[in-house]
Amino acid sequence: MHEVIQQLVAVEAEAQRIVQAARAEADRIRAEAQRQAQELAARGREATRAAAEQLVATAIAEAERDKQARLAQAGREIGEQVRLDDPTREQVIAAMVRCVSCAT
């Protein structure tokens, strides 16, 4: 009977050791999973930030192209609408010459 009790104690001790080892392994796996999740989240944030920066840069470039096109169109429209006849042109030139002469 004494042997049986010793075997039961030994089996119980071995079972406790196995449970402790399993808990330690579970803690290690959980910690690694958390680390990987944090790493993935950081990569996701970085990718999102990079994509947002690219969208902003594209929008700025497009706005600049649109602005240049609008300025060019406005210049063409003004050029088509404003026509100086010869006497008016001569008056403008004379006024410009007077301005330049006065400035020097």
Per-residue pLDDT tens over the stretch 60-79 = 999 999 999 998 898 788 77
CA distance 32 to 24: 12
pLDDT at 79: 73
What are the C-alpha distances in Å from 95 to residues 57, 72, 89?
46, 28, 10
Query: Is the per-residue pLDDT at 5 higher than 90?
Result: no
CA distance 58 to 53: 9
The overall average pLDDT reported for the chain is 89
Cα of 34 vs its chain's centroid, Å = 25
Who has greater pLDDT, 60 or 87?
60
Name the one residue in this structure whose structure tokens are 């403008």.
92
pLDDT at 42: 96
pLDDT at 33: 96
C-beta pairs of 34-41 under 8 Å, 24+ apart in sequence: none
Whole-model pTM above 0.75? Answer: no
